[in-house]
Structure 1
Amino acid sequence: MKKIIVIVDSINIEDSSGSKANVALINNLAEAGFEVFVYHYTLRDIKLKGASCYAIPEMKYTPLYFMSRIQRLIQRNSTINLAPFFERLFGFSFTFFNDTRSIVKALKKQSFNPDLVITLSKGGSFRPHYAVLKLPQLHDKWMAYVHDPYPFHFYPQPYQWVEPSYKFKEAFFKEVAEKAKHSAFPSQLLLEWMGGYFPGFMGTGVVIPHQNSKYKIQNTVFPSYFDSSKFNLLHAGNLLNARSPKGLIEGLKLFFERCPEAKKEVRLLLIGSCMGFSEMLGEYKKNIPELYVHDGIVPFDEVFNIQQNTIVNIILEAKSEISPFLPAKFPHCVAANKTILSLAPYLSEVKRLLGVDYEYWSDVDDVAKIAKLIEQMYTRWKENPENLLLNRIDLQEYLSVDYLKQTIINLKK
């Protein structure tokens, strides 16, 4: 197996964590020695080293295109939201249908003869998967990569919610599970979770974790809010409505009550969109000057640089019985070789990878344990900062080019 086509929503690493993960996978496929051709729907020209990239143009002046624009105008200029009505009728939006037809049109013109076709997506769109379903000549070469549960009502609690078009989306993914020659998932728990709803995945699925791709930092100057000499606890990434930082901050407060002298050295940084927690965080900031919150988008280069130079990287997940997700930032945290504070359900992919005996884990709302872990990490840092190096060669190998290459080669077997 030498030639690979990757069909992907976006390769703009600034637009989402999903795009960062997709680009890392593409980079590592190229570094592994495969000939990689990328069809992407970023709607702008972007090049990736080692891969040939083609920006799929949007089909314009079609009935679907005009219907999508009319719908947008109505929603923008009134209180009427027609999306639920149309999706209940047709399953997807006019924009989705026009986008997928644009992808199909571009793929029909391609002359590259691949050994493997990989579809990647982000968020909840899965447009490349829908497009390849319309191209049966590719199905015996197709690997459908599933980054998150789909449809939304198959998410674990507390994320779970039912879309108006849920029956259409279930039928769509049933087809993906049955027609793709291979399927891939970033985590073992997600493969098992989705296989419970679509048994076809259990027969075709392999685990390809989010990749540790080489990235050269362009700007090494730290932003004004980051002091590398401090004991920095960093959470980088969006705090979705279910990922509450309350337990973490209350744990920090309890730690300060026990070790008030640590206030001059300890900092907690929350960088990324805070969505539903802005008001709560604003109240906390009034009384905790050691808490820094950046509610909004931060350039990837800046975040990556801080991740590599913090003392502790935090992976915060929702309160739940299970978390089958592998966060896209997990490889960055492993590459940083700094302690990971995992705030997650006991049954989670991050905890599974870190190991049952991993010390720095807690439920997201266990304030007493979080305070205790911060105290332990701070004490060990004071003794010697190298006490908090992650030093997990096994995880570095699991997220590496070599592991990826062997997984692809084994598909034939």
Structure 2
Amino acid sequence: MRIAVIAESINVNDSSGSKVNVELIKNLAKICEQVTVYHYTQRDIQLAGIPCISIRERKLSLNYVLSRSQRYFTKFTGISLHRPLESLFGFSFTFFSDTRSIRAVLPEIVQGDYDSVITLSKGSSFRPHYALLKFPELHGKWLAYIHDPYPFHFYPRPFTQVLPGYRQKEEFFRELSKVARYVGFPSKLLSEWMGSFFPEMVGKSVIIPHQISEFDPNERLDLPGWSSGNFNLLHAGNLLKERPVDSLILAFQRFLKQHPEAKAHARLFFVGPAQHHEAKLRDYCSQIEELTVITDFIRFEHALYLQKEATVNVIVESKSEISPFLPGKFPHCVLADKPILLMSPLYSETRRLLGKDYPYVAESDDVEGLSQVIAELYSQWVKEKNLKLNRPDLKDYVGVDHLRQVMASIA
């Protein structure tokens, strides 16, 4: 199979979306005859052994001029035109300019006679998808990969927002659901969730979980208070506004009070940006000696190293009725092969994959339940020291062999 991938970004250090894009591309290259990547990162980034073509931003267009004019107007007047303009047009002038730049390479992809064309986005932006939507020559080969709900008013609570231009954004995805040959999702629950809003997606949904490729991170990152001989609970990665960790910290504090002997060994680490929680986390640090918070940006390789060296990796999901997302860090935690402490609602893709009998799970606001989970993990660590997740089934699910089966089913 010869595949063209159109990605918004392949810079692994700019977002979790870019990280999972790159992991998917790497594994596709292992199972396909040819994978060529066209990306709009605006940097000359190459992936070993994979042809990567940087899409040039085209500046000779009305939308480009309007986007820059709007930016300068806001800079000099302090008046933002974002909401009224997106309410009118559905998207920003920058979005329209970028999608036209991406569309300019599509004739080259047509001439390449690929068997499949996969579009990968980043964050809440689906620029490659919008570009391909306007190019019917490729619709019969198109797999539109959707990593999160869209538009924002289709997110589950507490993420739900009604953004300017929501009607046009909804119509964009309704049209996509009709013309794409396949619609890919990282999560079974996300596929079902989006299918409830766009019924046309149901018969063409393909589940392609976030991928892992074998890694042996060789870049150490020394943290204050970190010792390989300790019981280290680690959350590595960005803490979103909608995912507070107060309950986990209070649970850890309760655990230490109930097990004072653990104070010599137990440590809780938050490593990564936490813009909306930083002040509160600093306050907790002043009260809890065993808590360490590093809110600086850390490189992807350093996060992988810490996850592999941790005793327990923490995955935080929001307090909600459902969490259809598959966190980008999930496959990395699986490959690190350390127990996962999951803060999750009952209906969640991560909980579904770990299984109904997985013991280290509690609701995100359940302080007592989280404290009991930490105590159980600590008790196991005292007995065994080197705790393992030991889930070869999950390694297979997020690995190359399962991806090969999925791609063969749609060839």
Q: TM-score, normalised by structure 1?
A: 0.97
Aligned mates of 1:129, 1:4 — CA distance in 2: 16
Structure 1 contact 10–40 (Cα < 8 Å) conserved: yes
Structure 1 residues 206 and 67: alpha-carbon distance in aligned structure 2, compared to 1, 3 A threshold? same
* Cα displacement (A) at 1:218: 4.0
Contact conserved, 2:218 with 2:305, CA < 8 A, in 1?
A: no
Does 2:77 align with 1:113? no
RMSD: 1.1
Shift of 1:220: 3.4
Gaps of 5+ in 1: none
Shift in Å, 1:51: 1.6
Task: Specify the code of the residue in structure 1 equivalent to 2:141.
Answer: K
Partners in 1 of 2:33 and 2:399 — Cα distance?
A: 15
Counterpart check, 1:35 vs 2:45? no
Measured in 1, the distance between the counterparts of 2:318 and 2:280 equals 17
Which letter maps to 2:84?
F
**Mapped partners of 1:262, 1:203: distance in 2:** 52
Distance 1:126 1:225 in 2: 41
* C-alpha distance in structure 1 between counterparts of 2:252 and 2:75, whole Å: 43
Q: Distance in 1 between matches of 2:360 and 2:51?
A: 42
Cα distance, 1:47 vs structure 2 = 0.8
In the TM superposition, what are the counterparts of 1:374-385 in structure 2 within 5 Å? 374-385=374-385
Q: Is the 8 A contact 2:255 2:371 kept in 1?
A: yes
* Structure 2 match to 1:232: 232
Separation of aligned partners in 2, 1:284 and 1:368: 18
CA distance in 1, matches of 2:45, 2:216: 17
What's 1:191 paired with?
191
Structure 2 residue matching 1:201: 3-state secondary structure: helix
Q: Aligned equivalents of 2:59 and 2:341: distance in 1?
A: 48
TM-score normalised to the size of structure 2? 0.98
Q: CA deviation at 1:219?
A: 1.4
Deviation for aligned residue 1:223: 4.2
Q: Show the 5 A alignment for 1:12-411.
A: 12-110=11-109, 111-220=111-220, 222-386=222-386, 388-411=387-410
**1:350–1:301 Cα change, 3 Å:** same
Whole-Å separation in 2 of the counterparts to 1:264 and 1:223 = 17
SS of 2:47's equivalent in the other structure is coil
What is the rounded CA distance, in whole Å, between the counterparts of 2:218 and 2:383 in structure 1?
33
Distance 2:92 2:184 in 1: 26
SS of residue paired to 1:206: strand
SS at match of 1:4: strand
Helix, strand or coil: the match of 1:303?
helix
Cα distance in 1 for partners of 2:38, 2:11 equals 13
3-state SS in 2 of match to 1:38: strand
Partner secondary structure for residue 15 of structure 1: coil
Cα deviation, 1:140-165, whole Å, max 9, x if unaligned, reads 00000000000000000010010110
Q: Could you tell me which runs of 5 or more consecutive residues in structure 2 were left unpaired when the two chains were aligned.
A: none
Distance across 2 between alignment mates of 1:117 and 1:218 = 34
| 1:74 to partner: Cα distance | 2.2
Query: For the Cα contact (< 8 Å) 1:222–1:302, is it kept in 2?
Result: no
Q: Deviations over 1:260-306 (max 9, x none)?
A: 22112111111111121112111101111211111131111111100
Q: Secondary structure at the match of 1:143?
A: strand
Contact 2:118 2:144 in 1 (8 A): yes
Identity rate, percent: 49
Query: Contact 2:221 / 2:306 at 8 angstroms: preserved in 1?
Result: no
Q: For the residues of structure 1 that align with 2:220 and 2:282, how far apart are their CA atoms?
A: 29
Checking the alignment, whether the CA contact within 8 Å between 2:6 and 2:118 is kept in structure 1 is yes
Q: Greater CA deviation, 209-218 or 47-56?
A: 209-218
1:372-403: per-residue Cα shift (whole Å, max 9, x none)?
111111111011123x2000011011011011
